[in-house]
Structure 1
Amino acid sequence: MSELLAPTPLPLGNLIDQPADALLGLIALHRADPRPEKLDLGVGVFRDDMQATPVMRAVKAAEAHIASTQASKSYLGAEGDMLYAERLAEVVLGSAIDHERTAGVQTPGGTGALRLGAELLARAHPGATVWIGAPTWPNHAPIFGEAGLRTRSHRFYDIERSRIDFASMLDELDNARPGDVLLLHGCCHNPSGADFSTGEWQAIAALCEARGLIPFVDLAYQGLGDELAEDAAATRRIFEALPTAILAYSCDKNFGLYRDRVGALWIQSANAGVNALVRANMLTLARSLWSMPPDHGAAIVRTILEDEALRTDWETELAGMRARINGLRGALAAAHPRLAPIGDQRGMFAMLPIAPEAVAQLRDQHGIYMAGNGRINIAGLSARTVPVLVAALAPHF
């Protein structure tokens, strides 16, 4: 009888082994490299001229204010800090937001926003396919896939020619069906740095309208390419042109709040009635995913956006970060003809037109570390190291 009542072991041995995270492996290799002149162009964080990732002045000041005035650390609701979401929406969507048709919630980082949006799509339209341009951030497809959605990649960027292949993109999206989702980088494309032109954004909006596609914008680098309004212009255009649109947002980069995981999700619906359903389901899903989002980072952003002096200082420091990135882009573009397109691109990342074998040789022979597809973090460079990188690259062009 005791044998019949014995608990059945959990079948953990049925789990399938998972590939190691390539970026984490790159970090470990760089850390173990004893060469003093080694160069880390892999990790996607902003770095200053001293290769530090400092806490922004406005963030420090906001934290001090919060520490001296915060009366409680009681739970937030599933929607998080709604004043944070409202203030941030003004920065991101501006007058493009229709409050009667748009629901917004705080999320743990941009990744949390993407996953919440994916879960909502899986609940609303489980047969939808998410179309993702290649190349893209490596975590995009897994996020949607783990939510149970199908994903398909479409050609977006010609790596050899370092430019967008818009004709191929439109040709491949001809296979998309009504109700499918089109994932879009709002600005500062990761990993290519190549953004659509105004005309191409207009064509994308027209395509979504004609074929009944839902645009899902991932905006993670606002203000690090061009000024805040310029980097949000494409997203605003999408929200103004289409009845249904989704936006996942991250404050990790433009506020330097990487480890605090600060994001938001906004969903625009066709009418107020659908918006009420969307909001109810967003909150139910958020409750099951993380119950309530962490407060500290969102409180920092809200404090900065509500204080004129802090906001001005944040925008000033952000402009300095942007100028550093764009200055390094210009230096790379001027150093070699094959790197010229980098000067017209935007954001922290660029893709070098080199083969994986060359990436490995740069690491082994020169201590230059980058992702296997040739993606580099522009902010990992300095005026001193740009010539070093270009000299090492020259034999591979």
Structure 2
Amino acid sequence: MFDLLPLAPPDAILGLGEAFKNDPNPNKINLSVGVYKDEQGNTPVLASIKEAERRLLEKEKSKGYLAIEGLADYGQQVQEMLFGAGHPILKDKRAVTAQTPGGTGSLRVAADLLRKHFAAAKVWVSKPTWANHQAIFQAAGQLTDVYTYLDSTGKGLDFDGMIASLEKLPAGDIVLLHACCHNPTGIDPTPEQWKKIAAVIKDKKLLPIVDFAYQGFGDGLEEDAVGLREIAATGVDVLVCSSFSKNFGLYGERVGALTLVTNTAEAAQRALSQVRISIRCNYSNPPTHGGALVAGVLNDAALRKQWEGELAAMRNRINKMRHLFVDTMKKLKPEKDFSFLISQKGMFSYSGLTNMQVDELKTKHAVYVVGNGGRINVAGMTEENMPKLCAAITAVL
């Protein structure tokens, strides 16, 4: 029967990773898949995680199932990361959290929940957004559309256009927002702009989903939560999809969370009861290991301090590479200004390269970036590969 199935196209991003693996060029450079790399080009296991893992393995006595919503300690620590310890939302028990298999799992659980209970609502995503966002919600049976985000230069936020788009949305529709380190552009609203976005969401009676995949990779753990906290401060219901792939380096462990914020503790428990059903019909309950590592780090003052230092080091290395890239390109191609990359945040940036230039980078120079804006994973840059990278980009411009 499967002989009749059509061959599906490769994933737009992960497919590039496969092509990179198969490329025999010894000097190839991969700036496509969103994975952090250190100066040696490796994706490291954080020292804080290694210590948390050592302690876990010493104490672990069972491989039994977790509750449907996962580890209670994990959920509590996730909420404190999002809102801060002692926040009124936490004190009033107006937030509930379910541990999920990565941020993608969180988004899919949210999509199933919303499709079941708000079937008429359309999901609006930024133009552009992460390539998988619309696919996840469409797979759950929801309609999707886009709101204005990137300006006409491709280098900044069209804030007036964004607000105008949001103000036109029907009450009850769903808006997906990037908390920080916007993927794929690296362009974020300012704290003042977040206040206006939050006010429009409340005024238009929209339901926000905040995708929080990079907390700590922008300006810092607290600074990166400003947008979410501004929205929550208005009193609207909020869904938050967290991922700990990047900030804890736990890519292969698939560690995420879905947090729902409501107006009352009773509403929160009602919402959690429905989340449990969505999870039970999907993967039943989450894996233990990765969530236990995150909880182990966040529950221990010394490990948390160590982890925050490691996170700051990753953030600073990315920012260093941004500056080095801009400086190197200025020397090689002074008439082409790439300084806009410095103001962008997180792992990704829109380079402005055309699809033709992106293809030429791959076929002629073994440099892999994502098309449709030339999304570059800045974390894949190193001091060693920077000269070859910039020379290749100069050649295709």
Q: TM-score, normalised by structure 2?
A: 0.93
SS in structure 1 opposite 2:80?
helix
Which whole-Å CA distance do the structure 1 matches of 2:163 and 2:247 have between them? Answer: 31
Which whole-Å CA distance do the structure 1 matches of 2:154 and 2:114 have between them? Answer: 35
Which whole-Å CA distance do the structure 2 matches of 1:242 and 1:189 have between them? Answer: 24
Alignment correspondent of 1:84: 74
SS in structure 2 opposite 1:329?
helix
Alpha-carbon shift at residue 102 of structure 1 (Å):
1.5
Encode CA deviations 1:74-131: one digit per residue, 9 max, x unaligned.
Answer: 1111010011110121122212634432221111111111111111111221000111
- Give ranges in structure 1 of 5+ residues lacking alignment: 1-10
Deviates more, 1:125-134 or 1:14-23: 14-23
Alpha-carbon shift at residue 295 of structure 1 (Å):
0.3
Alpha-carbon shift at residue 34 of structure 1 (Å):
2.1
Alpha-carbon shift at residue 268 of structure 1 (Å):
1.1
Supply the RMSD in Å over aligned alpha carbons.
Answer: 1.8
Q: Within 5 Å, which residues of 2 pair with 1:35-184?
A: 35-94=25-84, 95=87, 97-98=89-90, 99-158=92-151, 160-184=153-177
Larger radius of gyration: 1
Which whole-Å CA distance do the structure 2 matches of 1:206 and 1:16 have between them? Answer: 47
- Give ranges in structure 2 of 5+ residues lacking alignment: 331-335
Q: Relative to 1, partners in 2 of residues 1:14 and 1:388: Cα closer, same or farther, differing over 3 Å? A: closer
1:203 matched to 2:193: no
Q: TM-score, normalised by structure 1?
A: 0.93
Which whole-Å CA distance do the structure 2 matches of 1:388 and 1:135 have between them? Answer: 29
Maintained 8 Å contact 2:126/2:148: yes
Which whole-Å CA distance do the structure 2 matches of 1:211 and 1:24 have between them? Answer: 37
1:21 matched to 2:11: yes
Which whole-Å CA distance do the structure 2 matches of 1:110 and 1:338 have between them? Answer: 34
Encode CA deviations 1:349-375: one digit per residue, 9 max, x unaligned.
Answer: 111111100001111221111112211
Maintained 8 Å contact 1:332/1:343: no
Alignment correspondent of 2:353: 354
Alpha-carbon shift at residue 338 of structure 1 (Å):
2.5
Which whole-Å CA distance do the structure 2 matches of 1:362 and 1:114 have between them? Answer: 33
SS in structure 2 opposite 1:92?
helix
Which whole-Å CA distance do the structure 2 matches of 1:187 and 1:220 have between them? Answer: 8
Alpha-carbon shift at residue 159 of structure 1 (Å):
6.6
- Corresponding residue pairs, total: 387
The amino acid of 1:151's aligned partner reads T
Which whole-Å CA distance do the structure 2 matches of 1:49 and 1:142 have between them? Answer: 34
Alpha-carbon shift at residue 187 of structure 1 (Å):
0.5
Which whole-Å CA distance do the structure 2 matches of 1:97 and 1:395 have between them? Answer: 53
SS in structure 1 opposite 2:77?
helix
The amino acid of 2:234's aligned partner reads A
Deviates more, 1:353-362 or 1:166-175: 166-175
The amino acid of 1:97's aligned partner reads I
Deviates more, 1:354-363 or 1:173-182: 173-182
Alpha-carbon shift at residue 16 of structure 1 (Å):
6.4
Q: Relative to 1, partners in 2 of residues 1:358 and 1:278: Cα closer, same or farther, differing over 3 Å? A: same
Which whole-Å CA distance do the structure 2 matches of 1:124 and 1:106 have between them? Answer: 21
Q: Relative to 1, partners in 2 of residues 1:288 and 1:93: Cα closer, same or farther, differing over 3 Å? A: same
Which whole-Å CA distance do the structure 2 matches of 1:92 and 1:174 have between them? Answer: 26
Which whole-Å CA distance do the structure 2 matches of 1:15 and 1:146 have between them? Answer: 18
Maintained 8 Å contact 2:191/2:226: no
Which whole-Å CA distance do the structure 2 matches of 1:158 and 1:385 have between them? Answer: 31
1:328 matched to 2:321: yes
Q: Relative to 1, partners in 2 of residues 1:316 and 1:367: Cα closer, same or farther, differing over 3 Å? A: same
Q: Relative to 1, partners in 2 of residues 1:226 and 1:386: Cα closer, same or farther, differing over 3 Å? A: same
Which whole-Å CA distance do the structure 2 matches of 1:97 and 1:250 have between them? Answer: 21
Alpha-carbon shift at residue 73 of structure 1 (Å):
1.3
Which whole-Å CA distance do the structure 2 matches of 1:327 and 1:303 have between them? Answer: 30
1:293 pairs with one of 274, 283, 286:
286
Encode CA deviations 1:271-311: one digit per residue, 9 max, x unaligned.
Answer: 23322221110111111111110000000011111111111
Q: Within 5 Å, which residues of 2 pair with 1:308-387?
A: 308-334=301-327, 335-336=329-330, 337-373=336-372, 374-387=374-387
Which whole-Å CA distance do the structure 2 matches of 1:72 and 1:220 have between them? Answer: 30
The amino acid of 1:258's aligned partner reads Y
Deviates more, 1:275-284 or 1:182-191: 275-284
Alpha-carbon shift at residue 204 of structure 1 (Å):
0.8
Alpha-carbon shift at residue 396 of structure 1 (Å):
4.8
Which whole-Å CA distance do the structure 1 matches of 2:21 and 2:151 have between them? Answer: 32
Which whole-Å CA distance do the structure 1 matches of 2:116 and 2:290 have between them? Answer: 29
